[in-house]
Structure 1
């Protein structure tokens, strides 16, 4: 009997830029899952229900990016507690049942954030405790960041936002988590980010550039460098202006910057585990990701 094909995909709008197919496909190759396929499909909020309803029994799961992480809730039969409290689902698992299938929503962004931050903090017995933290931004990734910081020991971070009037969703998520963030305006941010254990920027590409410029100006005036670990979830361009400003001045400081691709890697690894039931081959996935992100060689 021919082995059945298993399918999975990342959905979003737009989604052509997604590196999830690179990561998942590399995992399938390393695990010898020759009958597994992973693609990217552009799906809007309006088309999501119709797309999911049209999937057959070959589908094992879906990865979700914006703008689908909240709207998918109404399609799910069960939501795992972490995804429920964060208010964002980035993973849908298709579980066969006697009468069909059950759609389960999960969140692997928190896992990805915790694992990426631990790389900067130092894993194992020497891991630095997170007492103070700053989060830039108030979207879905910021909610996952609050959960990740709480897991690392910080339940009262400062959240810097461009508009206090657009923090309602994050404030509700924080209340569900039992964390008590302090909300302040993003400008001026330099003093807030220089003296904390962890800073996580969840802002879109280049939106954190003004913070980078302020840090650079502060350093040029002889001010001290930031002391904590920075995770900028953006990985294009790489390194970001914020990452360059954070690491400036000493090669040793480069270890205090964690690129957003590391969060992407770890959250995808957890998705692979949930969808296939096998431990994700992290090294193979990381190698494929680095190759995909490497600058193209002229003339190649």
Structure 2
């Protein structure tokens, strides 16, 4: 087991982050009573200075927006997964002082889908084209055998998604957001947009929807997820993603495998219920 006893999440804004709840629940379940996990408000300009102050007691960091790309120049090594989307959400400090970056969002997405019985799909649709959408494409590269259609608001965003598709070896076709209702008939729909963006699509959910992965978790359910579930479709939530990616972070930072998925999910659900 690592001798380091500190970890934390950094980003801006950071007050909403559930990461401390999840990681502390993991430490309690694993009996790591002397481990600490904090929350730190850090922007892009402040990140290098924050790193300089970290001593050998640190095991690792979770990174949220806007730091997932800003951290890249500060690292000694990044995983192939992180390199594929040029985004790091996990930094592990090794015993020899190296800073190693990884992206647990991508395998976290795959694990969350697998937990709901979704192991492979013939095609998929993505709503949105931001940073989360590129991670969704990387996840689909592992489970989707056919075309991915991305619904976006601008040609610039469409071009970005096609470029990510080429880089990740995923067949990507882009459509205008005005036609997003068409996405809802795909075997798997991944909604990556901010809160409220997909609310107007709820009324268009087909009578027999298949699978929806909505990356939001607060408030939950979203109108789209609620209608989807009411019609009997499979729904994967943002909390599912958050927990699965956090489990992988805990495993990397503590060296304890497997991470306590159930305890972390329970803690996350309890925290959200109290908001």
TM-score, length-normalised on structure 1?
Answer: 0.86
- Tell me, yes or no, if the aligned pair for 2:183 and 2:189 is still in contact at 8 Å: no
Structure 1, unmatched stretches of 5+, are 216-223
Q: 3-state DSSP class of the match of 2:110?
A: helix
- Tell me, yes or no, if the aligned pair for 2:109 and 2:241 is still in contact at 8 Å: yes
Residue-by-residue CA offset, 1:257-276 (whole Å, 9 max, x unaligned) = 11110000000000000100
Separation of aligned partners in 1, 2:202 and 2:222? 9
Number of equivalenced pairs: 273
Q: Indicate which of 289, 295, 299 corresponds to 2:268.
A: 289
Change in Cα spacing, 1:4 to 1:132, as seen in structure 2 (3 Å) is closer
Separation of aligned partners in 1, 2:49 and 2:248? 27
1:175-254 correspondence to structure 2 within 5 Å? 175-194=166-185, 196-215=186-205, 224-249=206-231, 253=232
Separation of aligned partners in 2, 1:206 and 1:85? 29
Separation of aligned partners in 2, 1:169 and 1:31? 42
Residue-by-residue CA offset, 1:113-134 (whole Å, 9 max, x unaligned) = 11111223x1xxxx56300100
Residue 180 of structure 1: how far off its partner (Å): 2.1
Q: 3-state DSSP class of the match of 1:134?
A: strand
Residue-by-residue CA offset, 1:212-260 (whole Å, 9 max, x unaligned) = 2443xxxxxxxx42532101000011101110121234xxx15x11111
Residue 87 of structure 1: how far off its partner (Å): 1.6
- Tell me, yes or no, if the aligned pair for 1:160 and 1:184 is still in contact at 8 Å: yes
The residue aligned with 1:65 is: 64
Separation of aligned partners in 1, 2:154 and 2:226? 26
Separation of aligned partners in 2, 1:148 and 1:53? 33
Separation of aligned partners in 2, 1:34 and 1:42? 25
Residue-by-residue CA offset, 1:139-175 (whole Å, 9 max, x unaligned) = 1111111111121133521111122213454443332
Greater CA radius of gyration, 1 or 2?
Answer: 1
Separation of aligned partners in 1, 2:89 and 2:158? 20
1:124-143 correspondence to structure 2 within 5 Å? 129-143=120-134
The residue aligned with 2:34 is: 35
Runs of 4 or more consecutive aligned structure 1 residues displaced over 6 Å after TM superposition: none
Residue 83 of structure 1: how far off its partner (Å): 0.5
- Tell me, yes or no, if the aligned pair for 2:4 and 2:56 is still in contact at 8 Å: no
Change in Cα spacing, 1:35 to 1:169, as seen in structure 2 (3 Å) is farther
Separation of aligned partners in 1, 2:22 and 2:193? 23
The residue aligned with 1:219 is: none
Residue 96 of structure 1: how far off its partner (Å): 2.6
Residue 109 of structure 1: how far off its partner (Å): 0.1
Q: 3-state DSSP class of the match of 2:95?
A: strand
Separation of aligned partners in 1, 2:50 and 2:119? 45
